[in-house]
Structure 1
Amino acid sequence: MTTDESSWNRVVALHARIENELTKALSRRHGLGLSEYRALSRLVAAVDKSCSLRIQELADMLCLNQSSVSRLVARLEASGLTERDICEQDRRGIYTMITTEGRTRFTQAEPTYQETLKTALDKAAADPDLATAVVAFRTLTPA
């Protein structure tokens, strides 16, 4: 096994462990899937502060394909957390907007996400196989 492959395997293992912890905590405490939480997070932080994004923009931000995001948005809509909207300036664009209920659910879930992420990273840092990956991750400069 090459050094790159070994390092990559550590990153993948770290990612899987963290994602699993986040998924369990968000589901158990807030009834949200991890992708749902991330979609709400992107909508809350929408650049134009309208808290709406084109479906394709959301797909790009979440690194998911259009079909997966369409299903995700449908689940969020069915839960009353988002709603679709047509852009007045571009009738071809379909937007998804966060609702008041969606903003509330995100606000409630965000501390759980942050706490779980920190705890999972701390736990992974104690694992000799993952410690270097955690150190590398934690020393990244935010964009």
Structure 2
Amino acid sequence: MTTASDDQKLASWRAFLLTYNTIMRRMEQEMQDEQDLPLTWYDILAHLDSAHRGALRMQELAESVLLSRSGLTRLVDRMERAGLVERHPCEEDRRGTYAVITNRGEETLFQAMPGHINSINQHFLQYLDVFDAQALLRVLTKVLEGERPAEGSQAEVIEGDQ
């Protein structure tokens, strides 16, 4: 038997999932319609662009964009064929490979960025006031720190991605 508190927590979970899935589907469709670019490609380009020298090791990039190594490899293969990224060998570790954003990748990212920011505002931020944003950040950080304790403070990770 669940309590009213448990019911409220489960309702919060369902609302979180529904909200996330609804927003991500809309943003994915908008990015595809407006830029002919999958949202995951945008995410990869943004991570590479913000990295030192526009490059990340494939393993690090996979962790950053929440993909398996094999899933990322397939995406980077397609992005490389599209001229958006290149692979460079890692000089320190011959087994390692860097994904590097190309000039075309930077141009694509910067062309898509205003629409992406608009989508975030339209589908999410417009519904939050400063107090809602603070409360949401506090709750999500608490969950991340509970689920990823070995990685230290998630607040720094989250706030650093702004």
TM-score, structure 1 normalization: 0.84
Question: Within 1, Cα distance between the matches of 2:74 and 2:55?
Answer: 17
Question: Within 1, Cα distance between the matches of 2:23 and 2:116?
Answer: 11
Deviations along 1:63-97, one digit per CA (max 9) or x if unpaired, are 11111101111111011000110012221111110
Specify the SS of the correspondent of 1:85. Answer: strand
Q: Displacement of 1:20 after TM fit?
A: 1.1
Question: Within 1, Cα distance between the matches of 2:90 and 2:66?
Answer: 23
Q: Displacement of 1:2 after TM fit?
A: 2.3
**Is 1:17 the equivalent of 2:22?**
yes
Higher normalized contact order (CA 8 Å, seq sep 6+, divided by chain length): 1
Structure 2 equivalent of residue 71 of structure 1: 74
Specify the SS of the correspondent of 1:50. Answer: helix
Residue 7 of structure 1, aligned match among 4, 12, 32:
12
Question: Within 1, Cα distance between the matches of 2:99 and 2:125?
Answer: 35
Identity over aligned pairs, percent: 31
Residue 111 of structure 2, aligned match among 96, 108, 112:
108
Structure 2 equivalent of residue 128 of structure 1: none
Specify the SS of the correspondent of 1:32. Answer: coil
State the number of aligned residues.
Answer: 131
**Is 1:43 the equivalent of 2:69?**
no
**Structure 2: any 5+ residue segments left out of the alignment?**
1-5, 139-157
Structure 1 equivalent of residue 149 of structure 2: none
Amino acid at match of 2:54: C
Higher helix share: 2
Question: Within 2, Cα distance between the matches of 1:117 and 1:89?
Answer: 38
Question: Within 1, Cα distance between the matches of 2:93 and 2:53?
Answer: 16
Please tell me the root mean square deviation across aligned C-alpha atoms, in Å: 1.8
Residue 89 of structure 1, aligned match among 83, 92, 100:
92
Amino acid at match of 1:42: H
Q: Displacement of 1:122 after TM fit?
A: 5.6
